Amino acid sequence: MIMSPTVDRQPDQEPRLQWEAEQLVSGSLAAELIGRQFPRLRGAPVELLATGWDNTVYLVDGQWAFRFPRREIALPGIRREIAVLPRLAPHLPLPVPVPELVGTPSDAYPWPYWGTRLVPGTELAEANLTGRARALAGASVGRFLRALHDPHLIGLAVQAAPDLPEDPMRRADPGFRAAHARPLLERLARSAAWVPDPAVERLFGTAERLGPPAGRAVIAHGDLHLRHLLVGQSGDASGVIDWGDVCLADPAVDLSLAYSGFAGPARAALLAAYGPVDAEREMRARVLALSICAALAVYALSDSRASLLRESLAGLARAVSG
């Protein structure tokens, strides 16, 4: 299970400044904190699993993933994950991380953290899926999102987290997302990583007339992208991770993955499993797909992540494809 950055943080800053840690948890400190609060894991092997903008993640005893916030801005999301994920997990057809071991603040580390049983799989961004395997993943995603967006889950989530926000990043607002994406795309063009595509600006120009969505919100993952879908060796989806942006939102927010991660028969399989998506919702999802892929590509370029850069640039092309 990999924990990756939230992709919306202050795109006007230099990339490195966006994810500079306020609290660094070393492997030795993680072992000390976990051993002190969870005696059954005292002395268990601790190894770094991943670092993102907002979290550092350690694998403990080969089966537990412990997530330590790196920045204060991540704390509301951490608390919502702790509250909401145990309520949602039984109703979803794919594994999600469930906080089972919740650490409390101490003199050694001032923030809450939590451990979940490892969700196995490879990020879609790293899996290099093609053909039938990507169609399998697409169908799995469609079924997952259909279950997640069931209106019956709203009450469960809001009961667990009454402060659950409604689309706090304005991800379903095409005008806002286009404004977020343009400077990132300009940065990619200046670096020669991406050749500007006129279809992108045409989509922005059309979608910006929509304004914010007026329909009923659903429970949304909130940050579902190429790094947060895990797939197995066969290509079938194996889990959905990193729920720090869980919120109420238009379904387009999560459906953006249909347009960033899938195209052709694979996208058709996803949408067939999910259900009808009207033209307006599709347009919102496509614009968000461009915004997210632009941010991921800038991150990948600055952090020398070749696979993520390749897949993010491919996502830009998919987002404007038929």
User: What are the tens digits of pLDDT across the range 42-88?
Assistant: 999 999 998 777 889 999 999 999 999 998 988 999 999 999 999 99
**Measuring CA to CA, how many Å separate 3 from each of 86, 160, 203, 307?**
18, 23, 31, 16
Please report which confidence band the pLDDT of residue 3 belongs to, taking 50, 70 and 90 as the band edges. Answer: very low
> CA 40 → CA 29, 43, 46, 109, distances in Å?
17, 9, 14, 20
Confidence label for 12 from pLDDT (cuts 50, 70 and 90): very low
Does the pLDDT value for residue 6 go beyond 60? no
Confidence of residue 143 (pLDDT cuts 50, 70, 90): very high
Q: Distance of CA 71 to CAs 2, 11, 208, 217, Å?
A: 17, 17, 32, 28
Return the SS3 of 161: coil
CA pair distance 222, 242, nearest whole angstrom? 10
Query: Which superfamily is assigned to 15-117 in CATH?
Result: Phosphorylase Kinase; domain 1 (3.30.200.20)
* pTM (two decimals): 0.91
pLDDT tens digits, one per residue of 122-135: 999 999 998 899 99
Instruction: Tell me how far apart the alpha carbons of residues 1 and 6 are, in angstroms, rounded to a whole number.
Output: 16
Answer yes or no: are the C-beta atoms of 87 and 156 closer than 8 Å.
yes
Bridging pattern class, strands 229-231 and 247-249: unpaired
The CATH 3.30.200.20 portion of the chain extends over 15-117
Task: Confirm if 139 and 269 have CB atoms less than 8 A apart.
Answer: yes
Average pLDDT of 106-124?
95
Tokens matching residue 285:
């999802």
Structure tokens at 114: 């939590």
Predicted confidence at residue 18, as pLDDT, reads 55
How many helices (H) does the chain have, and how many strands (E)?
12, 10
* Cβ proximity of 5 and 52 under 8 Å: yes
DSSP SS3 for 14: coil
Strand-pair partners of 69: 55
Report the alpha-carbon distance of residue 139 to residue 231 in Å, rounded: 12
pLDDT of residue 155: 96
SS3 155: helix
How is domain 122-319 classified at the architecture level of CATH? Alpha-Beta Complex (3.90)
Q: What are the residue ranges of CATH 3.90.1200.10 in the chain?
A: 122-319
In this prediction, what percent of the chain has a pLDDT beyond 70? 94
The answer to whether 305 and 251 are in contact (CB under 8 A) is no
pLDDT exceeds 70 at position 167: yes
Contact status, residue 95 vs residue 238, Cβ threshold 8 Å: yes
Angle of helix 252-260 relative to helix 306-319, nearest 10 degrees, comes to 110
Average pLDDT over residues 4-27: 61
Picking from 185, 181, 167, the residue whose alpha carbon sits closest to that of residue 286 is: 181
Cα–Cα distance for residue pair 221/142, rounded to 1 Å: 13
Q: Name the E strands within the chain.
A: 46-51, 55-60, 64-69, 101-103, 113-117, 122-123, 218-220, 229-231, 237-240, 247-249
